[in-house]
Structure formats: C-alpha cells, structure tokens
Structure 1
Amino acid sequence: MNMSNINSTRKSSYSHLSATERGEIAAYPKMREQPVDIARLLGCHCSTICREIKRCSVEQVKDKNGKQTFFNAYFADSGQRVYETNRQKSSYLKLNGCSTRFIAQLESALTANIRLHSVDSFVQTYKVNHPEEVVPYTKTIYRYIKEGLLAIKPIDLPKMVSIRKRSKKVMKTNKKTLGKSIEERPEYINDRSEFGHWEIDLILGKKTKGEAVMLTLVERQTRYALGVKLEDKQSQTINRAVTHLISQYPIASITADNGSEFSLLSTLEAVDVYFAHPYSSHERGTNENFNGLLREYVPKGISLNPLTSEELDNYLTVINERPRRLLQYQSSTFLFELARTT
C-alpha cells in the first residue's frame, strides 16, 4: 500500500501528538517514509516529527552473520511515556492538580497588606520546604492570576499592572557634574565585587511646600536598603542624615545623581562620592529598582507627612527579607549581615 496516496488535513492549530499518531510514526519508517513525508501525512510540521523521533528513539542491536550492527529505532509506547512524564512537569499543569495547601498559602501571602514574597520567591521557597508537593512554575501562577483562577488580582501585584508609556523626554544638556564623575568609579565598585558601596536617592511625596521626603540608600552587592524620613530635601538636611548613617553602617562610597539636594555630599570626608551623568537614572539602577519596590507601600502622589518611623521600618524589613532570584533566593538581610561580619 502506498501511504503517500492517503489524503490528510493539516491541523488548524498546534496540538500535541496523540498515541495513535505516535503509532503511525513508528509504522511509517518500515514503509520507507521520510520524516517530511510523515509530517505531511499527519498534517504537522516536519520539525515536530524530527524532534519526536530523536527524543524517543532507542538504540537497538542487529546480529547478522555474527556481526553486530547498532541502529536507533522509534517506539510509540516509549514516545507516549516520555510525553506523559513531561506533561506532569509542564507549566500547563492544571490548577486542580496543584497542592491545595500551596494555593491557600500563596493566596494568603500575596494578598497580605504588607507582603514578604513576590510570586517567584514564594514558589521557589515553597518548593524547597515542601519537595513532596506538586507546585507549578512561576509563569504558570501568573497565567492563573491573569485568567482569574486565584483570589490574587493583578492589582495585588503592582508589577503586573500595565503602566502607561511615558512620552519621550527631550534630553537636556550642559548640566554640570557636582563632583567626582561616575566614570572615575573603580571597577571593583562597578562589578559589585566589593562590599560597602551604596547608591542614594530621594523619594518625594506631594510636591508641595512643607512636605516630608524619604532618603533611601541601597548597598550594591547585597541590595540591602536603608531609608530615613526627612523634614525637607535641603542639602544640609541630606548631609546630616548621611553623616549619621555613615557612623552606623559600613559605607565606603556613595553614588548619587546630580540633584541639588546632593550638592554637599562631596564635602564628606569619610566616604568617596560619585555622581552619575545628568538624566541617567539607569546608572543607579539598584536604587531605582528598590524605590519601585517601596512604592508598593508608598505610592506616588501621597503625602509622606503621616508616615511613621515604625511604618517605614516595617516596609524596609519586608523588602530586605524577601528572597530574591538575583540573590539565588537569599534575602538582602542575610547577605548583608554575612558580609558585614566577615
């Protein structure tokens, strides 16, 4: 029978091979069909057939006249078994197949007023602590949230909420660097190989007279953050706060932007101070990222005057103790204390 005479209809959309189709793949080579012909007959892409054969072939031995010949043969049952195993590990694991305890704790943790975890850090931490339970991948949890399958809403996770694209700003020029340029910053600071080098920034509340501000510093290697509420953003106020922090923490250098509020930092003798290029916030990306995390608790446009020191300390503690992927799921607090004592 010439199998090439059989008409087939190409699948309208992608779907996995069935057990029957795997049986046909196993039968076709015996009839001298090539992968491209098998793909046409089954109505799928040639690469699908090639991957399936490569992934599920088993080495065989043929003995002819006392001479052994090795060859690879595709077996349908082997292919189906591999598929079912991979499906169990797949990110498309059905919600009802997940650990109910995991789902309950995930929803509780991520809808808390002050949450310790991100989706990713919760998933990874839970997997380590409960290796026997079925836990989906991080991207699967985000899919569940988008599909409304969980009690967690996108608004509970600010990073999921789409942000209106800002209009492109015209780059300004001729703003002078206040002191030592970031271009003079040593490589051991740039590559984060040495502990004790910080980035500094201000978080503003309402842009009105008499409004409090928040000074933030982030250690570049461990991402450990400090925060202080200040009555104003005068350069003298900033310097007094930084001087106090230098006496309390291992601060070897500070990288700031060119805002006038930081104009007196270069007068500090205890630390090296570097200034980023004008309008280049990406050069202080560590601090900018932290500010984004803090904005979850202190949104833009609200007054900082009612913010208490206790509330700020709670926010800092939660962020510093959050396991983070870029830190191999260790917390900034743990790494900071480790570096500080060694």
Structure 2
Amino acid sequence: MSFAEAARTVGISTRTGERWRNGRGASGRIKAYPPINEAPVTEPTDPSRYLREADRVHIADRLQEKATIRAIAAELGRSPSTISREIRRNRTVLANGRWRYRPFAAQRRADARRPRPKTGKIGQNPELHDFIQSHLALRWSPEQICHALRRRFTHRPEMHVTHETIYQALYVQGRGELRRELTQALRTGRAIRRPRRLADRRRSRAVKNMVMISERPAEAADRAVPGHWEGDLIVGPSSRSAIATLVERSTRYLMLVHLPDGHSAAAVRDALITTVKTLPPHLKRSLTWDQGTEMAAHHGFSIATNVPVYFCDPASPWQRGSNENTNGLLRQYFPKGTDLSTHTPEHLHAVATELNSRPRKTLDWETPAERLHKLLAT
C-alpha cells in the first residue's frame, strides 16, 4: 500500500501516520516518541528457558478466565512455580491495593532485569557488605555468617543472604563485591573453586590391646550424654611437630594439647593425662582415636585418668567425624607445611577459644562454649 492508503486503513490521518512513522521530538508538554521499527520483530519458536511475550499474553488471557496456576503451567509446559513467580514479580499493583497482570508491562520489566552483569545484593547494601566482610576476617564460614544475619536482623529481609551468594561475591569474576584476599580466610584458603578429591587410604598401624569402636557404649554414639571425646593429631612437615586435638562429641567443644617434646607414644600419653585431668568427672567418659602409633600407650592413659580409649576401624575417618571436621577448621590457623612446634600453649588456648566462640550449624547455631556452659550449669 501507499502511505496514504495505509493511514486510511488503520483509521488515522496522514499527519498522525507521519508522526508514527518518523517519530517526534519533545516540545513543551508534547512528549517525544521514537519512530516505528520498520523491521518486523518475530519471536523464535525454539524452546527457551525464559518466558516470551506470547507466553505472557497467554498467562494474562487465562487469568482473565480464572484458570489455575497449575493449568496455565501445564498448557505452557512450565513448572507451576515458574508461573507463580512470573505473576508475583511482574504484576501491576493498582491504587486500591489490588493487582492485574498486564503482559506487555510484564515483558518490559523482565527485559529491564535481564542485562548482565548487575550489582548483587551484597554490593547494593553497604551495611550488609561490611557485616559479611568483618566476619570473614574473623574466619567465620559463609554459612555461619548467613545464619547470624538471620538471627540478628530477623525482620529485615534485605540483610538476609544465602551462603552461596557470599561464595559468588568472592569467587565469581566481575562481581567485585568482597575483597579477593578474603578468600584466604575461608576454610580452604582457595581463590577459586576446586572439585573434591578422594583422600588417600591410610595404612593400618598395629597398636596392642586395642578396644574397637564397636564396643563403645551406645550413649556415645547418639551424642546425648556429654563427656565422650574424639582425638587426633595435626602434624607439621615430615611429621617433625604436632598438636593433639580433643573434641567433645555432644558440644563440639575443642581442647588443644601442646606437645613440646614431640609426639611419641609417651609424650602424647603424658600431655593427654595433664589435659584430661582438668575436666570435671562427668566430662570424662571415653576417648575415641584412630589407629595411630602415638596412642600405643593408651593403657597407661586409661589407668591414670579412668577414661577408656576406643579405636576406629582402619581407613574410617567418619567414625571420628567431629574431630576430622575440627582439624579442617584448625588448618586455617596452622596451615599444612608449617612448623607446629613454634606455637605456645597460650596461642593454642587463644585459637581454641576463638573456635569455641563460633556458632555451629550442628548446634542449631549456638557456640560450643554456650552449649558446654549449659551442661556445666545443670
């Protein structure tokens, strides 16, 4: 058609048609309008993870017909949660508090949110950013931080994040919301993510007169009764230095044992006797250890403290899971490959105090010190 014929067919004047075709600049109260796009926009027909304009028109039509969310989702081949989120995010709230779903306005909102990269939640909130950054500097894990946020700012959802959001702020390039060097405060100290690897299987070591973990009382397994401990060594390079770790199974309370004279069986026995004798009687029930030769003198330890020692099965670190997890936390303070004999008893006590003051997920976000204090008070 000619331009005049097209204007008559649409039902407008040629002057209006010129404004539509060519656009119009702002003048006084007259708003500016862009010209009509001459190239027709055709939506692709292949499946997409995003809702298209045609999908949104279908949603609006079916909502007018009082169709259910599940029915609309089935017709579009989508999850019901996808449809409900789309309506909640992109609906138009009216002046009277009610809402309507307008498909073209919804499409504009979705297009405006789509461009990447965009500033994340941590970067948009200075208070949230400072809280996370200060607690990462205290070596709190991202999961501990996110639960501390929910407990401290219960009624402020803008201060709530998931631990994955914190990890992405540290790891994902282009975010830049948290200082890159804070990755050194994470458990692993890695600046990038790495897949898990299977640990090397340990060789079984012969320790005489072992009492196996299968004979340990059932009360130790369910963690209901305090006083059952798990122990192990963290060692320095070439096994020339070591620190003994004791973790109470019920409260996850940590005690670090100084080993200035090496980690022979006699040295470990004497150091453990000195440490365990400081505990009240109801917190001295049993000790579980692996089959390391440092516990070859376990019989003398049991006679001196009246604490029986039980040994794990070979290559079964999960039987001392609390101690293994705590040893991983301690590597933030005592990195692998460093000489552990340089640390004083005072420093070991300070490290244990800091770890016992961290909220723990397994304790419903209480700290080991708080949980132990409750037990001692009762």
Whole-angstrom CA distance in 2 between matches of 1:259 and 1:95 = 48
Amino acid at match of 1:9: P
Amino acid at match of 2:299: S
Compared CA separation, residues 93 and 191, structure 1 to 2 (3 A)? farther
Would you say how many aligned residue pairs link Structure 1 and Structure 2?
299
Larger radius of gyration: 2
Whole-angstrom CA distance in 1 between matches of 2:145 and 2:81 = 38
Amino acid at match of 2:132: L
Amino acid at match of 2:263: K
State the TM-score, normalizing by the size of structure 1. Answer: 0.74
Write 1 or 2 for the structure with the bigger share of strand: 1
Whole-angstrom CA distance in 2 between matches of 1:120 and 1:53 = 29
Whole-angstrom CA distance in 2 between matches of 1:77 and 1:274 = 68
- Contact in 1 for aligned 2:231/2:287 (Cα 8 Å): yes
Amino acid at match of 2:218: E
Q: Does 1:247 find its partner at 2:277?
A: yes
- Contact in 2 for aligned 1:116/1:321 (Cα 8 Å): no
Whole-angstrom CA distance in 1 between matches of 2:122 and 2:252 = 37
Query: What SS does structure 2 have at the residue aligned with 1:296?
Result: coil
Name 2:164's counterpart in structure 1: 139
Name 1:219's counterpart in structure 2: 248
1:315-342 deviations in Å (ceiling 9; x for gaps)? 1111111011111111011101211232
Compared CA separation, residues 94 and 314, structure 1 to 2 (3 A)? same
Name 2:309's counterpart in structure 1: 273
Query: What SS does structure 2 have at the residue aligned with 1:245?
Result: helix
- Contact in 1 for aligned 2:189/2:332 (Cα 8 Å): no
Compared CA separation, residues 53 and 293, structure 1 to 2 (3 A)? closer
Compared CA separation, residues 151 and 195, structure 1 to 2 (3 A)? same
Q: Does 1:106 find its partner at 2:135?
A: no
- Contact in 2 for aligned 1:177/1:277 (Cα 8 Å): no
Amino acid at match of 1:145: L
The CA deviation at 1:219 is: 0.3
> What are structure 1's unaligned runs of at least 5 residues?
1-6, 40-45, 58-73
Q: Does 1:119 find its partner at 2:142?
A: yes
Name 1:14's counterpart in structure 2: 49
Whole-angstrom CA distance in 1 between matches of 2:143 and 2:123 = 19
Compared CA separation, residues 275 and 36, structure 1 to 2 (3 A)? closer
The CA deviation at 1:141 is: 1.4
Whole-angstrom CA distance in 2 between matches of 1:96 and 1:305 = 40
Compared CA separation, residues 13 and 315, structure 1 to 2 (3 A)? farther
Query: What SS does structure 2 have at the residue aligned with 1:243?
Result: helix
1:192-341 aligned at under 5 Å gives the runs 192-207=223-238, 211-230=240-259, 231-249=261-279, 250-267=283-300, 268-269=302-303, 270-341=306-377
| Among 156, 159, 162, the residue aligned to 2:185 | 156
The CA deviation at 1:50 is: 7.9
Whole-angstrom CA distance in 1 between matches of 2:270 and 2:236 = 21
Q: Does 1:187 find its partner at 2:218?
A: yes
- Contact in 2 for aligned 1:218/1:225 (Cα 8 Å): yes
State the TM-score, normalizing by the size of structure 2. Answer: 0.68
Whole-angstrom CA distance in 2 between matches of 1:332 and 1:341 = 14
The CA deviation at 1:176 is: 6.1
Tell which has more relative contact order, 1 or 2 (C-alpha 8 A, sep 6+). Answer: 1
Compared CA separation, residues 121 and 37, structure 1 to 2 (3 A)? closer
- Contact in 1 for aligned 2:139/2:186 (Cα 8 Å): no
Query: What SS does structure 1 have at the residue aligned with 2:256?
Result: strand
Amino acid at match of 1:179: M
Whole-angstrom CA distance in 2 between matches of 1:205 and 1:331 = 28
Compared CA separation, residues 324 and 16, structure 1 to 2 (3 A)? farther
Name 2:14's counterpart in structure 1: none
- Contact in 2 for aligned 1:23/1:76 (Cα 8 Å): no
Whole-angstrom CA distance in 1 between matches of 2:122 and 2:322 = 39
- Contact in 1 for aligned 2:187/2:328 (Cα 8 Å): no
Whole-angstrom CA distance in 1 between matches of 2:307 and 2:210 = 13
1:35-83 deviations in Å (ceiling 9; x for gaps)? 48852xxxxxx123686269979xxxxxxxxxxxxxxxx96369x7xx9
Amino acid at match of 1:218: V
The CA deviation at 1:253 is: 0.3
Percent identical residues? 26
Query: What SS does structure 2 have at the residue aligned with 1:248?
Result: coil
Amino acid at match of 1:182: I
Whole-angstrom CA distance in 1 between matches of 2:361 and 2:187 = 18
Compared CA separation, residues 169 and 177, structure 1 to 2 (3 A)? farther
The CA deviation at 1:163 is: 5.6
Whole-angstrom CA distance in 2 between matches of 1:258 and 1:122 = 36
1:220-249 deviations in Å (ceiling 9; x for gaps)? 111111001202111111111222222211
Amino acid at match of 1:253: S
Query: What SS does structure 1 have at the residue aligned with 2:340?
Result: coil
Query: What SS does structure 2 have at the residue aligned with 1:334?
Result: helix
The CA deviation at 1:302 is: 0.7
